[in-house]
Each structure stands twice: as structure tokens, then as C-alpha cells.
Amino acid sequence: MVMQNKSTESDLNSHTAASSAKVWSWTHDPDFERQTIAALHDTGKGFLPYATVLCAGYSYLDYLYAPPEVLTPVLMLRLLCVGYLVFCSLYLRLTAPGRWTTLVCATAPIFSAILVVFMTLLWNPGGNLYGSGIAVPMVTYALLTRKPIHTLIGALVIMAAYPLANLFYHPIPDAARIPFVSHILIVNGVCILVVLISVKLHQLRWRSFCQQQEVAAERDKITAMAATLETKVLERTALLKKSNETFSRFVPAEFLRVLGYDDISQVKLGEARQSEMTVVFADLQNFTFMTEVLGPQETMALLNRILSRLGPCVRNHGGFIDKYIGDAIVALFPGSPQQALIAAQDMCMALQESDSFGGLRGKVVIGIGIHQGALMMGTLGEAERFEAAAIGDTVNVAAMVKSLTSVFGAQLLLTGTVYAALSGTEKENCRWLGLVTPKGRSQAVDVYECFANDNLDRVPLLRETRSAFESALRSYFQGDVAQAGAVLEAIAEDCPWDKPLQFWIKRCSSDLQLRHIPNGSLKHF
């Protein structure tokens, strides 16, 4: 604070020195000149009309009291003065501040003074002459001038005009010398005082201008700094946004929100939340075949094209991709299981309709398993390397159901939990494929097939045979393998292309040969 006060005091001293140096200068800073001329213009525009009215009033007094022999020239001179003041007033009123402003404002009082000198030669109006003819123009000029040097010149003219006019008129009587000299001294003192006031006003104006310039410079500097700071903030924000967008490709924003974070930099190792989710596990069923046919570069390019078709299907229905596991996708849906099922159907359709697979079109087959339940979402790893992951029995069951797609020859399978959440219309396109006990679990899982994406000519037939198909499977799990096989073979006469049906026919035949009795579920290893 002390250093700041010293700096301020130093600046004021420098302003004072600058003001003193500029008091009598003919030239000033262009901006200061324009500012001063503008102030002079406004002052003259407001003051000169009053001076004009005052001069017209004195013209009336001259008309009443002037001797007849000098009345005509006195009135002519007085009216000439009034006319010039009217011209100056109108000029300032109708024009903008410019190079002629100073000349108009300066000549108005000087012209009035000169005319009064001529009037003095014609008629001695007595002691009122100075007040009526010279003092008013002098004060006007002092108020309107913009440089002390102008005020000084005007003061010298006025100081000399009155005594010379009186001396030219007649010699000063001895009895009137003391009053005359006193009058002259008073008038000259007033003129000197006006000059000093003008100097001080000019100093104040110049100091104010310098301070305004400094404030403007500081304001421009602060504005430039603010603009630079804003630019850096925008650049930093854009960089952070780009970084967040890049990180979001590795860790979904939805995953972070489940953990309670908006910024990936805040995530810590060991964070965990339990959530109710629908898991969609999708995998290419013939990926090994493609790797044998294609080279590494072509395989990777084809895999990226496939995944680029599947990703939007997940996001368009409220889900997000948790991770890629080679050619497999694990997607999570916080919403209803219907959204997950619709997304899975879109994924199947996207691969069927894609023309970007070249000669492999129609050979890219996907297997999808869907399951709903509680799972743990958190961060796994160690301090130097960890990732977001969804783990739990729900994920394992979804993976198991997906693996059954190659066993049954189906494309889209879902568990009984998902099936129970579907509407009646959606259930019409699903059928029960039996109870399966996954490896490591003691509880069996109901597995359903969604055949809505099958050939359009086959879907009505699958709906018609669904009831008989499911009844045969229930007979199978109740131990009546022969009855189940007979019903399934009867259905196969109309549906020889039905792969899940063929699986169960073979299963019944095998169990009959081995005399194996089902124990309520199909073991899956």
C-alpha cells in the first residue's frame, strides 16, 4: 500500500510538471485539443446568446441617453456588435466543433472591445463604459478561451484599450487622476486575476486529460489482458472438452455418472456402485473363419466397420458400451429391458442390411445374449493402471446366454427375467428354449429365443408352432423324452430349417440312445 501511494504521488507530480510545461504552449496533444475545442464549443453555444441579449439591452440604453450628435454612429456600432454576436451564436449552434470554433469564440469578445473603443472616441459614457462595453466581453473571452496565451493577449488588449480610449478623448483633469488611476488599477488587477484563473483552469484541464489518458491506457491494457485471458480460457476449455471427448471413448460418460462423477480425473481406484441394469452381450459367431480368410489389416478394418454399425444401435436406445472384448461387445442399459431388446434387434438388422462387408455380406453373423439384474460397477486394477468395469452374476449369465446362441443355432437369446418384462406383443415373437444351468451355478436359467429378425416368411410359422414346441420341451424336462421327440419331429416336417428345433430333436434322440433321463435342466459347460 505504501509503495502504491508513492507511485500515485509520483504520477501526480509528473502531471503537475507536464501541466506547467503545457500552459503557455501553442501546441498540445491532438486528443486534448479536440477535447478542449469540444468543451469550448459547448460553452460558447450556451453563453454567447446571453451576451447578445445583454449587448442589445445596452443598445437600448444608448438610444435613450446618448447625445443626438453621436446617437446614429453609436447605435450603428452597437448594432454591428449585436449582429456579430448573433452570427457567432448561430454558427456555434448549427455547426460541430472544429477548427473555426476557437476563432469564433475568441473574436466575439475582442470585436466587442474594439467597437467599444470606437464608441469611447465618439462619446464618453463615464464610469459605466468599462462595465457595459469591455468587462463583459473580457469575462466572456476568459470563459471561452482554451489556452492561457490567448487569455493573456486578450487581457493586454483590454488593459490598454480603456485608458488609451479615455486619453484620446480628452486629458484627464487633475481632480480625476486619482479615481482614474484607481479605476485602471482595479481593472488591470481583475484582468491579471482572470489570466491567473485561466492558467489554473488550463492546468486542471491538462492534468485531468493526462489522467484520463492513463486510465484509458490502463483500461485498454486490462481489456487486452482480459481478452488474452478469455482466449486462453477458451483454448483451455476446448482442450479439456477434447480430452473429455477422447476419454469418453474409453470410459463412457454414463458409467462415470453411475459412479457419481462428471470428470474422469476425479475417479479413484476401488470406486463401486451396485445398479440394476440390462446387459447385452454380443459376439461374432464366425470371427475365427474371417481371420483365416482375411489378413490382419483387412480383419481389423472389417471388425471396426462391424463395430461402427453396432455402436449407434446401442446409443440410440439409451444404452452405452461398457467394453469391447475382441470381437464382442458388452453393452449396459439403465432403462427398461425393452430398450435392450430393440437395440439388439437393430444390431442384427444392421449387419443383415450392410453393404460395406463386400464378399462377406450375409456371412457376418452375430450372437446376442440379454439378461437383467443387479451388477457391480466400479474401477479395477492398480494405482498405475485401472479401468472401469461392470462385474457380477448378471454379466456372467448374459455371457453364458450369448454362448448358447452357437449351441442352439439361434441369433438372439434372452433370459426369463427379460422375457417377463416384455409386453404381450413382444412375447409373441419369443419362445422358450428350456432351462439351462450355467457352469458354476446351482440355479437354472430360463432361456428364450427372439425370432422377430428371422426370415419374414418363417416368423408366422414359428408363432404357430411355438405352443407345441414349448409343450414338447416341458415334457422333455419332466422325463418324457420319447413324447417330446415325437412332437418335435412332427413340427420339423413344416420347419426343417429351424436350428433350435433340430438341436432338441438330436438331444432327445441322444438321450433315448443313452437312456439318459433329464434332471430338470440342461447342463451348460
- On whether both 57 and 189 belong to a single domain, the answer is yes
Instruction: Tell me, yes or no, whether 149 and 285 share the same domain.
Output: no
In a domain, 235, yes or no: no
Query: Structure pTM?
Result: 0.56
Together in a domain, 203 and 281: no
In a domain, 299, yes or no: yes
Say whether pLDDT at 140 is over 80: no
The residue type at 31: D
* Any domain includes 490: no
CA gap 264, 243 in Å, rounded: 10
CA dist 450 and 280 (Å) reads: 14
Please give the residue range of the domain that contains residue 186: 22-221
Q: Of 422, 454, 478, which residue constitutes the final position of a domain?
A: 422
Tally of structural domains, the chain: 2
Q: Tell me: pLDDT of 16 over 60.
A: no
Q: Are both 198 and 300 inside the same structural domain?
A: no
Q: For residues 161 and 276, state if they share a domain.
A: no
CB neighbours of 357 closer than 8 A, spacing ≥ 6?
A: 302, 305, 306, 363, 364
| pLDDT at position 431 | 94
**CB burial class (10 A; 0-12, 13-18, 19+) of residue 255?**
buried
Residue type, 521: S
Residue 112 has pLDDT above 80, yes or no: no
431 within domain boundaries = no
Q: Within this chain, do residues 211 and 274 fall inside the same structural domain, yes or no?
A: no
Contact by Cβ (8 Å): 47, 140: yes
C-alpha triplet 366, 352, 279: angle, nearest 5°: 40
Regarding whether 133 and 77 lie in a shared domain, the answer is yes
Nearest Cα neighbor of 78 from 106, 104, 58, 64 is: 58
Looking at 316-336, list the stretches that DSSP marks H as alpha helix, in order from N- to C-terminal side. none
DSSP string, 143-179: HH-SSHHHHHHHHHHHHHHHHHHHHHHSPPPHHHHHH
CATH of the domain at 336: 3.30.70.1230
Q: What is the dihedral of CA 213, 214, 216, 217, to 10 degrees?
A: 110
In a domain, residue 505? The reply is no
Residue 130 has pLDDT above 50, yes or no: no
Question: Per-residue pLDDT for 413 more than 90?
Answer: yes
Q: How far apart are CA 319 and CA 312, in angstroms?
A: 10
The verdict on 280 and 196 lying in the same domain is no
Query: For position 427, what pLDDT does the model report?
Result: 92
Same domain, 406 and 282: yes
Boundary of a domain, candidates 221, 252, 286 = 221
Residue 217 shares a structural domain with residue 364: no
- Indicate whether 231 belongs to any domain: no
**How confident is the model over 481-508, as pLDDT tens digits?**
999 999 999 999 988 999 999 999 999 9
Tell me: do 130 and 53 sit in the same domain: yes
Per DSSP, 97 falls in state: S
Of 422, 444, 470, the residue that ends a domain is 422
- 451 domain-assigned: no
Do residue 212 and residue 127 come from a single domain?
yes
Give the other-Cβ count within 10 Å of 370's Cβ: 29
182 inside domain: yes
pLDDT digits over 173-200, tens only?
666 667 767 767 776 777 777 777 777 7
Region at 343 (left for phi over 0; alpha for psi -120 to 50; beta for the rest)? alpha
Band of the pLDDT at 126, cuts 50, 70, 90?
A: very low
